[in-house]
Amino acid sequence: MKTKLVRYEIDLANPPPLTDGQKAELEALAAMPDEAIDYSDIPPLTEAFWENAVPNRFYRPTKTATTVRIDSDVLAWLRSQGRGYQTRINAILRREMLAALKNR
C-alpha cells in the first residue's frame, strides 16, 4: 500500500487567524488564576536534577568580531597546530570561563 507524503509550510511571521473557539479558549486560560492551575503531573526540580542537567545540544552562541592583542609566540603556537586557530582560542577561553563560573 502506497501512502502520499504531504508537507505543509507555516509562515511564522504571518500565522493563520485564530478561530472563535481558539480565541475563547485563550481568554478562559488568561482569566484563570494561578492557584487554579494543576501542577501535579510536573515533577519538582530538585538539586539532583540540576546536577545531571546538560546544555541544549542545539544551542549555538552568536559570534562577535573583535580585536585582541595576543603574544606572538602564543599566536604562532596556535597557528602551528593547523587550521582553526581562532576556534581553538575560543575553546580555550570558554573552558576557562566555565571553570571560573563553576568556582564562584
pLDDT at 80: 96
Predicted pLDDT of residue 86: 94
Contact 53, 45 (CB under 8 A): no
Q: What pTM did the predictor assign?
A: 0.47
pLDDT tens for each residue of the chain, 104 residues long = 677 888 878 788 888 899 999 999 999 999 999 999 888 899 888 898 888 888 888 888 899 999 999 999 999 999 999 999 999 999 999 999 999 998 88
What's the confidence (pLDDT) of residue 9?
Answer: 80
pLDDT of residue 63: 92
Q: State the SS3 of 31-68.
A: HCCHHHCCCCCCCCCCHHHHHCCCCCCCCCCCCCCCCC
